[in-house]
């Protein structure tokens, strides 16, 4: 048996129950991982709330949680990872019905999606990175193809994705305009923003900005609303409004401006790039608070407030009985 946060039904945090449940059995090609830490992402409470019923059906997946950092318990003999190795990764959301998430003492994950954990990070720090790091990396590197000397705007620069995106853009040689509240101005500047706009004091759409990449982490704009702030061949990225963003380029009068809806995907190679940036000191995880597993409902409530600075991490208990 193992301890886990179970989703008993769709709803709010009252639908979560921390209890004992059977351990998962590893399949060929997978790793069985002792999770030391996980984290909360908005997709977790959106699944719990029922926003993705079309994907999961009448009942939510039993165990949520994408990010994990932990130690390999079991692996194929031919795997590049073996028991005792420290790893980090991101579970596949679409497979949560059949594969347990990371809000548990043990999870299993395809070996090809897992990477060696950055040596300089604690389990809690490492668990805060995978989803937000992959989102920022795949957005700025794969979609926007960000180049040194370009200018990036990050709308929502003080959240989990935003703070990693700012640091990543700076590591890639770009200048960064961050958008957040005045309360979070200092953390945005510390992350590397060259300029910070307080959206509560200034109308963002009235600003005379010319940026190469408009990264909308909040998801409250569109290519149509911000196109005048983009360079002629600029790129608008949205990680929230996926369908409308996917088609907006078709109707944009400036044909060289593009919009991309970012569907983040687990990737060991992208995690390896993030690990290298962390080891070089270019990326630093930002954690607002670490919650024990028994208090995961409080972490969900805090995440739902949409006022977090950085990430909310879940630390697993040390009470697991050895296999």
- 2-128+285-315 and 132-261 share one fold: no
| pLDDT score for 319 | 65
Cα atoms in the 13 Å half-sphere on the side-chain side of 80: 9
pLDDT in tens, the chain (323 residues): 999 999 999 999 999 999 999 999 999 999 999 999 999 999 999 999 999 999 999 999 999 999 999 999 999 999 999 999 999 999 999 899 999 999 999 999 999 999 999 999 999 999 999 999 999 999 999 999 999 999 999 999 999 999 999 999 999 999 999 999 999 999 999 999 999 999 999 999 999 899 999 999 999 999 989 999 999 999 999 998 654 443 344 344 445 588 888 989 999 999 999 999 999 999 999 999 999 999 999 999 999 999 999 999 999 998 665 66
pTM for this prediction: 0.94
The length of the chain, given as a count of residues: 323
Residue 67 has a pLDDT of 99
pLDDT of residue 321: 57
Domain boundaries defined on the chain? 2-128+285-315, 132-261
Architecture label for domain 2-128+285-315? Alpha-Beta Complex (3.90)
Strands (E), the chain: 2-7, 16-21, 30-40, 67-74, 86-90, 106-110, 115-116, 151-155, 175-180, 195-198, 211-216, 230-238, 258-261, 287-292, 311-315
Query: Which pLDDT belongs to residue 244?
Result: 40
Q: Residue 297 burial (CB < 10 Å; 0-12/13-18/19+)?
A: middle
- Asked if 2 and 320 touch (Cβ cutoff 8 Å), the reply is yes
pLDDT computed for residue 249 by the predictor: 41
Task: State whether CATH 3.40.50.720 applies to domain 132-261.
Answer: yes
């Amino acid at each position: 048996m193992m301890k886990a946060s179970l989703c008993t039904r769709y709803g709010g945090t009252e639908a979560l129950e921390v209890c004992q449940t059977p351990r998962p059995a590893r399949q060929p090609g997978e790793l069985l991982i002792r999770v030391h830490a996980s984290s909360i992402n908005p997709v977790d409470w959106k699944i719990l709330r029922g926003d993705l019923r079309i994907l999961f059906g009448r009942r939510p997946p039993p165990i949520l949680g994408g990010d994990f950092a932990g130690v390999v318990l079991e692996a194929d003999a031919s795997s590049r990872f073996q028991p005792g190795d420290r790893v980090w990764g991101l579970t596949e959301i679409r497979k949560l019905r059949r594969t347990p998430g990371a809000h548990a003492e043990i999870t299993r994950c395809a070996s090809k999606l897992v990477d060696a954990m950055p040596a300089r990070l604690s389990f809690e720090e490492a668990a805060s990175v995978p989803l937000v790091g992959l989102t920022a990396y795949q957005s700025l590197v794969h979609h926007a193809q960000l180049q040194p000397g370009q200018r990036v705007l990050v709308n929502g620069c003080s959240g989990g994705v935003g703070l990693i995106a700012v640091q990543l853009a700076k590591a890639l040689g770009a200048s960064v305009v961050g958008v957040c509240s005045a309360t979070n101005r200092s953390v945005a500047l510390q992350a590397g923003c060259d300029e910070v706009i307080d959206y509560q004091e200034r109308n963002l759409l009235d600003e005379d900005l010319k940026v190469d990449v408009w990264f909308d982490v909040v998801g409250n704009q569109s290519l149509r609303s911000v196109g005048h702030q983009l360079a002629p061949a600029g790129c608008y990225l949205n990680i929230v409004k996926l369908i409308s963003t996917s088609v907006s380029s078709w109707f944009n009068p400036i044909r060289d401006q593009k919009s991309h809806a970012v569907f983040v995907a687990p990737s060991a190679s992208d995690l390896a790039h993030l690990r290298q940036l962390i080891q070089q000191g270019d990326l630093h995880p930002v954690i607002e608070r670490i919650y024990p597993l028994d208090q995961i409902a409080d972490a969900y409530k805090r995440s739902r407030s949409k006022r977090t600075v950085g990430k909310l991490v879940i630390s697993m208990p040390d009470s697991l009985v050895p296999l």
